[in-house]
């Protein structure tokens, strides 16, 4: 039997497993079983604690379909909260975590009513098409204000990597239906060789946005830290947003800040749901 912790960040839930219990690996079928909401524990993904030679801890992030994600903002907050509580990390200590999408650092901010608030240095926003990657027929270095056609529908989109790839679409009207109907199609479009996360964004003012999310490998999602970072980085680059923004999602609000050299920080809550054992 394998021990697990289940927590959520604004409704985006993950299962945390210590890799020493699984020989630091999980198969696609094991991940699918764990994440299945009828036949498993049910979650938006699995966070596997691993060894690292570059950071304090290593982390493998799995989507519900068994694929690996380079980075997850909510996942990193959940994983960090797990480390502070279960690995007895002192709350005044900043910890480093190695992900497939690069090294990040996180720190404990406060605890209110059972919710742990974690701040994560998410790394640098990258706009070069080749590094995201995006394959749009264009000589432009960046994928900014490009057009994608889906049947009779056209969207103006922008792309960025915050350790994983994102497609950001600004609109005066957004909804869960919009994200579900078109996010799934955009995710697998030929422009995006590694598939892509999709955000539909309504700007409230220069310090506040509202977003709906379609997450690569997971589908419609109540909240996403990396999506929030992607939206703010694109909005800041286009001059639409200030460098400190509150991102409102169906699951709640995250605080995102970005520096002039595109370094991102995210702050938000984590709440433990349960812990137990599962036969995988």
Q: Which CATH class is domain 2-123+268-278?
A: alpha beta
Q: Enumerate the CATH 3.10.310.10 domain ranges in the chain, comma separated.
A: 2-123+268-278, 129-261
User: Quick one: pLDDT band at residue 38, thresholds 50, 70, 90?
Assistant: very high
Which class is domain 129-261?
alpha beta
State the pairing for strand pair 165-170/197-205: parallel
Q: How far apart are CA 66 and CA 255, in angstroms?
A: 29
State yes or no: pLDDT of 178 exceeds 90.
Answer: yes
CA-based torsion, 81, 85, 88, 90: positive or negative: positive
- Structure tokens, 49: 């604690």
Can you give the pLDDT at residue 16? 98
What mean pLDDT is reported for the chain?
A: 96
Cα–Cα distances in angstroms (integers) from residue 205 to residues 210, 233, 235, 247, in the given order: 10, 15, 11, 11
pTM here is: 0.91
Reported for 143-148, long-range contacts at CB under 8 A and 24+ positions apart, including other chains, are: 144/237, 144/238, 148/186, 148/189, 148/191
pLDDT at 259: 98
H or E element that contains 104: strand 102-112
């Amino acid at each position: 039997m394998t021990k697990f912790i289940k927590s959520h960040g604004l409704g985006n839930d993950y299962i945390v497993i210590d890799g020493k219990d699984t020989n630091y690996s999980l198969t696609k079928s094991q991940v699918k079983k764990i994440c299945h909401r009828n036949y498993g524990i049910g979650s938006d993904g699995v966070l596997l604690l691993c060894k690292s030679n570059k950071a304090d801890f290593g982390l493998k992030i799995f989507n519900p379909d068994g694929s690996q994600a380079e980075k997850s903002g909510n996942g990193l907050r959940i994983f960090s909260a797990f480390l502070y509580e279960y690995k007895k990390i002192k709350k005044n200590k900043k910890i480093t975590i190695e992900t497939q999408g690069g090294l990040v650092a996180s720190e404990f901010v406060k605890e209110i009513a059972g919710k742990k608030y974690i701040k994560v240095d998410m790394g640098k926003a990258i706009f070069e098409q080749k590094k995201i990657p995006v394959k749009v027929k264009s000589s432009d270095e960046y994928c900014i204000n490009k057009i994608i056609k889906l049947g009779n529908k056209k969207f103006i989109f922008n792309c960025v990597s915050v350790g994983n790839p994102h497609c950001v679409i600004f609109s005066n009207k957004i909804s869960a239906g919009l994200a579900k109907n078109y996010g799934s199609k955009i995710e697998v479009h030929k422009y995006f060789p590694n598939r892509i996360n999709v955000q539909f964004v309504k700007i409230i003012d220069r310090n506040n946005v509202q977003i709906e999310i379609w997450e690569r490998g997971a589908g419609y999602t109540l909240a996403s830290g990396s999506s929030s970072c992607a939206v703010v980085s694109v909005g800041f680059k286009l001059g639409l947003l200030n460098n400190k923004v509150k991102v409102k999602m169906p699951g709640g609000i995250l605080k995102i800040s970005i520096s002039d050299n595109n370094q991102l920080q995210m702050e938000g809550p984590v709440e433990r749901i349960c812990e137990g054992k599962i036969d995988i």
